Structure 1
């Protein structure tokens, strides 16, 4: 273990840690020496992921079933972590869902509400509980990293719910960084572009572009995102990466579509 890794040990919670980018982040943190808790709504998925990550990293990865959009479930999640570990040093607000790419007038209220609950309300509720614990624990403080997505900057066509929540995450990140400043709580955001996971297989096959074309887009390995999060998480609390974009170099994000 390097000198940097030896300083990174602490208790980390990764929401939505059973699949995709969350699972890659959990693996990276565990490999760097963090005691990792992954949460999600499906216990079987979490248990399989935890067993895989523990075997791969040699670090005990544990699970707590939780629905981040439900205040009581989030409160129980943090109560369980406090009972098991006594503290939380890192929260990665990763859990989230998308919505079908349909014209805005065809989007149902139920779909809109579900995306807002998972992507925005969930991040707020977890941040709120993390603040309560991070302020009270000794030593005080910790770090929160929000998964913003490049949709926090620029939308895809027919993506109003997802894009709106990710733009809102940018505001939540800044408010969290400001409100946490006096309590040694740092907050930053990672905006991810086309990480290759089970949820993004359609990107490599072809997705709707702003000009109406369907085009395949390049992707990057999710471990590159995990490496970036591990770097952000490993900084001392007097330093912070407020925003970072990790994306496929050739994806049609920068420039006019």
Structure 2
């Protein structure tokens, strides 16, 4: 576990967020939006250089944003599928800030595409499950431990689901299974968090424009076997939605939100 510090610790009164998968795409956009709104952000991901780029972008946003603290980006190299890495991440949060107000569970992988169920290697299945589902659980578990014992008690967890939590794409059994599992995890966390003022919600995203969805512009397999180009939406619109969910008082919660490119083939998929 390696820590790269950005900004300065200004003392109490801040809101603190952990964003996993923060090195690119949705994670980077959400981290920048949070920082621009005055949150201190802890950036978790496997690639140190990418985290450093996100930290720089977040600090630029924070320097001109409406937030009160004027500094606060902490990058921690983390593989969320590894319990020791997750423990070290949340230990760093506790040491630096002393509390946690938001966990955005965003880290994930689609896994190899175009592989039939009968041909999917066990190792590929395990990698997707370990990252998408086990990693989310490990981070939520660590967040619960901190949120239950801090003063004031409580906080919020937002899980990044997917429209694949509702309907699969062809040849996506591992990814789809984990995203359906994410919905059950979100519901259980919501129930178990009630006595401790821990709110949990899920955002299901369809075709945000990131490196992961670049293939949508080239054409992707549809349920009828055809290839089709799919529209995408600006990733900042996802970040705005997460920010709205994050800034609700703990007495209110967006349990599930679906944000997608308006014309993508989702409603009526297949």
TM over 0.5: yes
For residues 79 and 256 of structure 1, the distance between their equivalents in structure 2, rounded to whole angstroms, comes to 43
Q: Which residue among 138, 142, 151 is the counterpart of 2:164? A: 151
Give the C-alpha shift of residue 165 in structure 1.
0.2
Give the C-alpha shift of residue 9 in structure 1.
5.0
- Check if 1:186 corresponds to 2:191: no
- Check if 1:50 corresponds to 2:55: yes
Q: How does 1:109-120 map to 2 (within 5 A)?
A: 109-120=122-133
For residues 42 and 85 of structure 2, the distance between their equivalents in structure 1, rounded to whole angstroms, comes to 15
Root mean square deviation of aligned Cα: 1.1
Q: Which residue among 210, 230, 244 is the counterpart of 1:197? A: 210
- Check if 1:168 corresponds to 2:181: yes
Asked if structure 2 preserves the Cα contact closer than 8 Å seen for 1:195 and 1:225, the reply is: yes
1:151 counterpart SS class = helix
Give the C-alpha shift of residue 55 in structure 1.
1.8
For residues 111 and 100 of structure 1, the distance between their equivalents in structure 2, rounded to whole angstroms, comes to 7
Give the C-alpha shift of residue 183 in structure 1.
0.3
For residues 35 and 56 of structure 2, the distance between their equivalents in structure 1, rounded to whole angstroms, comes to 12
Asked if structure 2 preserves the Cα contact closer than 8 Å seen for 1:157 and 1:210, the reply is: yes
Match of 2:6 in 1: none
Match of 1:249 in 2: 262
Match of 1:3 in 2: none
1:62 counterpart SS class = strand
Q: Which residue among 12, 15, 20 is the counterpart of 2:25? A: 20
1:241 counterpart SS class = coil
Match of 1:30 in 2: 35
2:81 counterpart SS class = coil
Match of 1:5 in 2: none
**Superimposed CA distance per residue, residues 6-37 of structure 1 (whole angstroms, 9 cap, x where no aligned partner):** xx951000000110001011111111111111
For residues 132 and 29 of structure 2, the distance between their equivalents in structure 1, rounded to whole angstroms, comes to 19
Structure 1 runs (4+) deviating above 2 angstroms are none
Q: Which residue among 19, 33, 45 is the counterpart of 1:40? A: 45
Match of 1:220 in 2: 233
- Check if 1:72 corresponds to 2:84: yes
Equivalent pairs counted in the alignment come to 250
Match of 2:155 in 1: 142
Asked if structure 2 preserves the Cα contact closer than 8 Å seen for 1:112 and 1:161, the reply is: yes
Segments of structure 2 that go 5 or more residues without pairing to the other structure are 1-12, 64-70
Give the C-alpha shift of residue 52 in structure 1.
2.2
For residues 50 and 29 of structure 1, the distance between their equivalents in structure 2, rounded to whole angstroms, comes to 12
TM-score normalised by the chain length of structure 2: 0.91
Give the C-alpha shift of residue 198 in structure 1.
1.2
Q: Which residue among 77, 86, 100 is the counterpart of 1:88? A: 100
2:178 counterpart SS class = helix
Match of 2:118 in 1: 105
For residues 156 and 23 of structure 2, the distance between their equivalents in structure 1, rounded to whole angstroms, comes to 21
For residues 256 and 19 of structure 1, the distance between their equivalents in structure 2, rounded to whole angstroms, comes to 28
For residues 74 and 66 of structure 1, the distance between their equivalents in structure 2, rounded to whole angstroms, comes to 7
